[in-house]
Structure 1
């Protein structure tokens, strides 16, 4: 397995080093067909904002950094003589939200690339002078500290490499969660797509980390970056935390080291690496027959665990120690070493056993709760042999088109909201909520595919901001529902306005439909007149603590 590592060159206080190409860029297995240096690219704005800029950065085949210009050509960066210098402006201004995509043909290969989007203002890039006698300048990209000049800019990115072997592109949350990006391709691999971060997920992850900080006193809330108004811009991965997590992991590590003093731990390096079994001797986890290259497996620090690349979790590459280190790092982030099957990593523990300890990587826990795809730490690709990958990537040996969208849209795998998006009499996708509590999104097999909102139980709610009912009150509320709840479990879907405890205007009482993807369209009368613009809340009430309903979409009718 290949880790979708973090490869941002952080600007910090503008004293950053040159950006390097991602490791995965050189380790992709070529397909039979070869991609030519001619790829139609579309950049779409579905963000809701009228001011959006895109950038495409990367390196050419010699490793020289640069940007793709609006005509699809790769432009090498100039090399400054001695000081950090602002990069030329290679922003590609996109049309208003919902307007036709900006299109061009990418006419050069780009290695270790990123497609960036920013809303409201441009991103500031810088160029470092060549260092170490290599003669190649360094591109300084947006970083993860408040001293970075892009800190209050709302930006995001996806990663890619386009070479003679293929186009490989992925969405990752190893560095942060921010504005949603989706992708779609056509080509020899068929039609492929990667879904964006679901609506409301960024806010849910942020609020979850703030609640976790209040619960355990660790600085999870410091990972939430906001603008001057308090709106969430991005949520940083703990490897980029502005506040040291100190001894956060110590009590968990003490328990692990104590347990494996008298119990064997087996780690399957997978592939051709083989398995290694060890126990704790003194303060060191020792695996029989494993050459640790002079770096023993002692107790790691919080920095080591979150970054998966330092101290005892130093990864020496594609050898046996590297494979063991990667799987040990994954098990620590997931706190899966003391659960049932935890002595057999990674095969002994299924994802349902991850993040169940009070001490865990709560950022990763929340990312996987609210995002459908995407790595949350560097070795999140480690999993039981044969398990489906959790990353969001596309790969095509001979691509014929590539669309990258800011916001929900092409590549999202879901039906986009109708024009206007907040009209009460249009179809409102359940996953387009602006806030929620207690629910999760999941893949949907209903007509149109995409996602539904599931795992709904008593006390949960969904908020849909600024729904316009116009001057005429609706007669009915209509929802697309499914349920695989056991016999005797049912509940109410209540429609309220302006708050979760606001005036109830409609209610559907619902039991099992025979399956969580066995969909039914269910109407209910609107019992209280409502006109104008209101926040609409779907609240859920049940006499049971069990999940009782999934919802795909809803609308109102006159």
Structure 2
């Protein structure tokens, strides 16, 4: 498995290798390459009255660092003669909360980040090389009291790949959405209140065990939480935090073999002798598996957990590092990694990576340490990424979820007005359907290939304090004669209360669109997840849907 590690370190140049598109099966048409131009919509959904600024940093295809200006052009940074030279101001001022700003990106950008800051601008610097110096993780950094956050991306001819990661820190929430050849994809933001809950949990953990978890919490002058840093950026040494746990692990595997399935490079079994964990048949590249330090465990890439890359030692180190962060090696089944222990048993020991424990308790997605993707074969990924070989739009929102024409129901931690026009293709989840180019007014994508038993989910629809009286849906059908079906609007689950049902038969073709109104049969108020379920007496596809909305009249 690949780790969704951060693309840039705090002082590195943007030099990450471009990601490649997936291999396509012989005989299938290769999808169109990502066009050079891409509209990037930046949404201010912060809810704050303070000014909000955005930045798009990265490198061009030669590896030279720079920023994307508001007109979409890539501005290469100068190569200064002195360190910590301030960069030109490439901030993109966003409008008031609830508004969007579109940047017409006109060049590929690799190893990139989209940054947001609230209240004041971020100070960036450039070193000779040149190398972009980004906000750091100590109180001496000039951006320490600035409320900033970011997501990562690479955009080249192969694809757009973007992700939200908590490997470095948790900060103000960001959500993303793309449209393109892979349909509509959405990554939801950190749920409301999660940052404060993670910070509070770390402070409580410090009070419980005395370890410096509380020093990971950065606050402003008023005490408000700005960000929570991962232990890799701890300003206070965790010292011998892991020692007693490691002593027990090394004792166990003196007599019990530890088997690690690399899931790509074979399976290796090892035991401890003379304080060294040795795996039979594994070339350790001269770096023995002795007891690691706290810094080694948190980083998964130093000391004995040095990761040599895509070879067998690297795969073993990644899985051993993941097991240590999750404290699973003393559990029944812990002698078989990574499949011997269920995810529900992670972080159960008093000595564990409590930052990762709390991130996964309060966040729905996002890596909390390098190689957080390690798990049993077939397990669900925990990363929050989007990938499209031919994207047509990319929207990034600060605060609550993506909204408006670029959004719809994919808001996740935020809410979306049920009275807005919700594009069907902006579902949060689905079963059995597909998206296609739509010839209806407004274009975009519609959802098709819908048959009995399929469903669509739209998270966080806000119906307000008064129930709507009607739903309107834009539908088309090319179903065979005698084939019809029902589109049911349900609250909170696929078996939840039906608030409206629209019956539909052939409209003259799969792109022959009709706006079909239907009065609500029961009321809906407050915020709910909305599910569209589909039923028919036939096994055939029977309807396409472009958009829907609710009406108070």
SS at match of 1:322: helix
- CA distances 1:178-223 after superposition (whole Å, capped 9, x unpaired): 0000000000000100010000000110001111111111111110
Q: What is the Cα deviation at residue 2 of structure 1?
A: 1.2
Which of 279, 282, 291 aligns to 1:290? It is 282
- Paired residues of 1:9 and 1:143 also in contact (CA < 8 A): no
Q: Secondary structure at the match of 2:254?
A: coil
The question of whether the paired residues in 2 share the 8 Å contact of 1:443 and 1:449 is answered with yes
CA RMSD between the two structures = 2.8
Shift of 1:19: 2.6
Q: In the alignment, is residue 9 of structure 1 matched against residue 6 of structure 2?
A: no
CA 1:338–1:28: 2 relative to 1, 3 Å: farther
Query: Is there any run of 5+ residues in structure 1 with no aligned partner, and where?
Result: 11-16, 131-136, 427-441, 453-467, 469-473, 477-514, 522-550
Q: Distance in 1 between matches of 2:139 and 2:290?
A: 33
Q: Contact (CA 8 Å) 1:209, 1:363: kept in 2 or not?
A: yes
Q: Measure the CA separation in 2 of the matches of 1:30 and 1:102.
A: 35
Alignment correspondent of 1:102: 101
Residue pairs, 1:508-527, within 5 angstroms: 519=496
Corresponding residue SS for 2:296: helix
CA pair 285-443 structure 1, distance change in 2 beyond 3 A: farther
- Once the two structures are TM-superposed, the CA of residue 553 in structure 1 deviates from its matched residue by 5.1
Report deviation, 1:450. Answer: 2.2
Instruction: Name the TM-score, length of structure 2 as normaliser.
Output: 0.74
Partner of 2:122: 123
- Partner Cα distance (1:170, 1:418) in 2: 22
Q: Determine if contact 1:30/1:166 at 8 Å carries over to the other structure.
A: no
Displacement of 1:409 in angstroms is 2.1
Change (3 A) 1:109 1:475: closer
Matched, 1:223 2:223: no
SS of 1:267's partner is strand
Asked if the contact 2:19–2:161 (Cα under 8 Å) also holds between the matched residues in 1, the reply is: no
CA displacement 1:102-124 (0-9 Å, x = unmatched): 01321100000000000000000
Separation of aligned partners in 1, 2:83 and 2:323 = 43
1:88 partner SS: coil
Q: What residue is the counterpart of 1:264 in the other structure? A: 257
Residue deviations 1:75-124 (CA, integer Å, cap 9, x gap)? 1001112342100000000010012x101321100000000000000000
Say which SS state the counterpart of residue 450 (structure 1) adopts.
strand
1:63 is matched with which residue? 63
Q: Is 1:309 the equivalent of 2:308? A: no
CA shift in 2, pair 1:21/1:246, >3 Å: same
State the match for 1:19 in structure 2: 13
After superposition, give the CA deviation of every residue in 1:456-504 in whole Å (9 maximum; x if it has no partner): xxxxxxxxxxxx9xxxxx999xxxxxxxxxxxxxxxxxxxxxxxxxxxx
Q: TM-score, normalised by structure 1?
A: 0.73
Counterpart of 1:54 in structure 2 is 54
Distance 1:187 1:285 in 2: 48
Matched residues in 2 for 1:89 and 1:257: separation? 53
Q: 1:201 to 1:42 in 2, by over 3 A?
A: same
Question: Of 128, 138, 151, which aligns to 1:158?
Answer: 151
Matched, 1:86 2:95: no
Whether the aligned pair in 2 keeps the contact of 1:7 and 1:19 (CA below 8 Å) is no
Supply the distance in 1 between the matched residues of 2:16 and 2:356 (Cα, whole angstroms): 21
Cα distance in 2 for residues equivalent to 1:27 and 1:408: 31
Deviation at 1:353, TM superposition (A): 1.3
- Tell me which residue corresponds to 2:37: 38
In the other structure, the counterpart of 1:249 is: 242
CA contact (8 A) 1:175 1:240 kept: yes
| 1:327 partnered with 2:357 | no
Residues 313 and 27 of structure 1: CA distance in aligned 2, closer, same or farther (over 3 Å): farther
Indicate conservation of the 8 Å contact 2:429/2:456, yes or no: no
Is the counterpart of residue 450 in structure 1 residue 465 in structure 2? Answer: no
- 2:342 is equivalent to residue 350 of structure 1: yes
Are 1:138 and 2:131 matched, yes or no? yes
Q: Does 1:391 align with 2:400?
A: no
Gaps of at least 5 residues in structure 2 are: 25-29, 420-427, 432-454, 468-491, 499-525, 530-553
Match of 1:461 in 2: none
Structure 1 residues 242 and 444, CA, compared in 2 at 3 Å: closer, same or farther?
farther
8 Å contact from structure 2 (residues 325, 352) kept in 1: yes
